Chain A
Amino acid sequence: EIVMTQSPATLSVSPGERATLSCRASQSVSNNLAWYQQKAGQAPRLLIFGASTRATGIPARFSGSGSGTDFTLTISSLQSEDFAVYYCQQYNNWPPWTFGQGTKVEIK
């Protein structure tokens, strides 16, 4: 089973600042990695697939990068609606499809 490890667990950022979230896989997942955003009381929403492709309707301030075992989600200028929990997920080696434990982006 591929273990996904996200860091940091919590990221405190001021509105308008840049946020950088990391995700590491225990073995290579190529570019078969997705990022999801989950706000309190809501279902997860797909942000990025293929490590770097934004899903439909996702603003350009969200960008993904990386390949193999190390991945990054960058939010270039945080808006109030971006404060949420973010999960990475690998879909290269399955089953199981595995998620990271999440990074909470909170207001500083």
Chain B
Amino acid sequence: EVQLVESGGGLVKPGGSLRLSCAASGFTFSSYNMNWVRQAPGKGLEWVASISSTSSYIYYADSVKGRFTISRDNAKNSLYLQMNSLRAEDTAVYYCARVSGQLLSRDFDYWGQGSLVTVSS
């Protein structure tokens, strides 16, 4: 069974940093591209960042570029999101999501349960 479990969320002050983790199991993690998607309270879904299976290709939403870093450790079956210079508008539930198939031009077929990040003084 495919499982994605996020951790690392919490309350942080504006300007602070936080690192999210996503532990993957039930599939060959190293073969799949992965994403972070966020959802602000009461709002819709916003793609944040994407990383290819070998980390060769990395993409960011303009809203987080230069502040967030996506990475992965295939030996540990884990995906990460390092978030720096956090702002109030980064407050959201952050989901890790798997890209189906081998291409980035695919849907997101499995999602974690999410990790809440609250940025507030």
Identify the A interface with B (CB < 8 A): 32, 34, 36, 38, 42-46, 49-50, 55, 87, 89, 91-92, 94-102
* Shortest Cβ gap from B8 to chain A (Å): 16
* Shortest Cβ gap from A39 to chain B (Å): 12
User: Which of B73-81, B84-92, B101-109 lies at the interface?
Assistant: B101-109
A55 to B47 alpha-carbon distance, docked (Å): 21
Interchain CB contact under 8 A, B105 and A89: no
* Shortest Cβ gap from B60 to chain A (Å): 7
Chain A interface helix/strand/loop/mixed: loop
* Shortest Cβ gap from B13 to chain A (Å): 26
Identify the B interface with A (CB < 8 A): 35, 37, 44-47, 50, 59-62, 95, 97, 100, 104-114
Interchain CB contact under 8 A, B107 and A34: yes
Interchain CB contact under 8 A, A91 and B105: yes
Contacts of B47 in A (CB 8 A): 95-99
9 A-B interface contacts by CB (under 8 A): A36-B45, A43-B95, A44-B95, A55-B109, A87-B44, A94-B59, A96-B47, A97-B50, A99-B46
Q: A94 is contacted by which of B37, B44, B97, B104 (Cβ under 8 Å)?
A: B104
Contacts of B60 in A (CB 8 A): 95
A95 to B59 alpha-carbon distance, docked (Å): 7
Interchain CB contact under 8 A, A45 and B44: no
Given A99-B45, A101-B44, A45 contacting B111 (CB threshold 8 A): yes
Interchain CB contact under 8 A, B45 and A44: yes
Q: 5 closest pairs, A vs B, by CB?
A: A34-B107, A49-B107, A43-B111, A95-B59, A99-B45
Contacts of A32 in B (CB 8 A): 105
* Shortest Cβ gap from A2 to chain B (Å): 12
Given A87-B45, A96-B61, A99-B44, A46 contacting B109 (CB threshold 8 A): yes
A74 to B35 alpha-carbon distance, docked (Å): 28
Given A95-B60, A101-B44, A89 contacting B50 (CB threshold 8 A): no
Interchain CB contact under 8 A, B109 and A95: no
A85 to B107 alpha-carbon distance, docked (Å): 18
Contacts of B50 in A (CB 8 A): 94-95, 97
A26 to B3 alpha-carbon distance, docked (Å): 34
